[in-house]
Amino acid sequence: MQRATAMVARAIIPATIGAVPRGKAISILSLFFVPALAQAMLLTVVPLEALRLLGAARAVTLLYLVAGLIAVAGRFSIPFLVKSIGRRSVFTLGALSLAAGSLCFALYDIPALAAGLVFSTFSFACIEITSQLYVLDNVPRQALRHFEPIRIFSIAGPWTVGPWLGVHLSDTVSFVAPFALATVAAGVLLVLFWSVRPEERAHSIATLAASQNPARVIRRFFVQPRLRLAWTLAAARSSWWNLFYIYTPIFAVTSGLGSEVGGIVVSIGSGWIWLVPVWGWAGRRFGLRRLLRAGYAAAGLLSICAALAFGLPWLGAVLLALAALGTETIDGAGNLLFLRAVRAHERPEMTTVFVSFRDVSQLGPPSVCALLLTVFGLPSVFVAGGVMMIGAAVLTNHIPRRM
């Protein structure tokens, strides 16, 4: 897998990105490529396992909500863990948690499933926060606009194949096959990380360790308008993806399309990531604000249309895949709004707060969806997601015109 990562990276990375040599870029990208493979495979098989064990979409929603609440505490403990045991140990803890979560999923038991959700959520939080800090430490600010699209493009393969592959392995090889492969990926990630040992800046470690009061850090983050806007837009984008990943497989199964069709739809939706270079060009040509506005609006309108078409399952599936195209144009910008807005001396602690948008996207949608599914059917979930994305399209008017 290390050789595959290097081959993919060399194919898409120039000799330098700004001031970042290709070798260093490949080392950093490997920390995103391998976790993406494990995460993408788990995206579809875990909701389907939950549906089989619990029997109803509302029960699945409540399980995700409870697991998300527990995971929030784990995410906000990460700065203290970095202070206590160091960033490299936190990354290692994330990889070990990924393996533990995958093994829990393989037990096919409701308590084990809940534990697996907590472990996997915590693992990706550890990996994401530390990896993002390594990016900020190793990629100059002026090179971020070139590096971020390449980072996203480098994980296109796992996100395209993974959702379908997880379901396919579960249905045709063995129920435990995707979880075994995710466990192997966690081991490979550990080997890669300790082989690469990316550079850490002393000031980053010191700044993060000095963050004693989370409330003070959160307050300082949200009083900055550009950071607040970046977080809100990222939370809307991530919330839509969580709806898509959880409820698209459930829709496919309950509508009679079948689990593998659900995996294919999710893979197509994730596979639009290959168009990242197109959206990068569009952002430079027409401006980031126009690109994001169009992406959020398209995703919102198509989500609502898909919900209205659920009586025709194939049409609903096609519209969901097209809505994912709208959302993927937003992913093309990655976290560039945040990376361009954060001050250098605040990067570590502000990164910890920024990535909390994932916690909100894991808690907010299940809370709303649990209420909706008490009264309405599954289409209401995507109507709510569509309205949210249209609201985010309106907020893009506050992005600076020069971006």
Q: Tell me what pLDDT residue 225 has.
A: 87
Nearest Cα neighbor of 195 from 342, 3, 9, 399 is 3
Both structure tokens of 49: 């396992």
Q: Tell me what pLDDT residue 206 has.
A: 47
Along the 403 residues of the chain, how does pLDDT read in single tens digits?
A: 445 444 544 554 554 444 555 666 677 777 888 888 888 889 889 999 999 998 888 888 888 888 878 777 777 778 778 778 888 888 899 999 999 999 999 999 999 999 999 899 889 888 888 887 777 777 766 666 667 667 777 788 888 888 999 899 998 898 999 999 999 999 998 888 888 766 666 545 444 444 445 567 778 888 888 888 989 999 999 999 989 998 999 999 988 898 889 899 999 998 888 887 787 777 777 778 888 999 999 999 999 999 999 889 999 999 999 999 999 888 766 577 787 777 766 766 777 788 778 778 877 787 888 888 888 888 999 999 999 999 999 998 888 776 6
C-beta of residue 257 within 8 angstroms of C-beta of residue 130: no
How many whole angstroms separate alpha carbon 20 and alpha carbon 27? 11
In-domain check, residue 61: yes
Look at the chain and report how many structural domains it folds into: 1
- Expressed as residue numbers, the domain containing 260 is 2-398
Q: What is the pLDDT of residues 268-299, one digit of tens each?
A: 998 888 887 787 777 777 778 888 999 999 99
Nearest Cα neighbor of 76 from 122, 132, 116 is 122
In-domain check, residue 88: yes
Task: Name the amino acid, one letter, at 261.
Answer: V
Q: Tell me what pLDDT residue 202 has.
A: 52
Q: Tell me what pLDDT residue 351 has.
A: 75
- Please state the pTM of the whole predicted model: 0.78
How many whole angstroms separate alpha carbon 20 and alpha carbon 147? 9
In-domain check, residue 292: yes
In-domain check, residue 403: no
How many whole angstroms separate alpha carbon 19 and alpha carbon 144? 10
Crossing angle of helices 2-12/177-196, nearest 10°? Answer: 70
In-domain check, residue 261: yes
How many whole angstroms separate alpha carbon 258 and alpha carbon 256? 5
C-beta of residue 224 within 8 angstroms of C-beta of residue 350: no
How many whole angstroms separate alpha carbon 139 and alpha carbon 145? 10
Q: Tell me what pLDDT residue 383 has.
A: 95
Report the 10 Å Cβ neighbour count for 141: 13
Q: Tell me what pLDDT residue 317 has.
A: 94
Crossing angle of helices 57-76/22-54, nearest 10°? Answer: 140
Task: Count Cα atoms within 13 angstroms, Cβ side, for 132.
Answer: 21
- For residue 369, give the CATH number of its domain: 1.20.1250.20
Q: Tell me what pLDDT residue 23 has.
A: 64
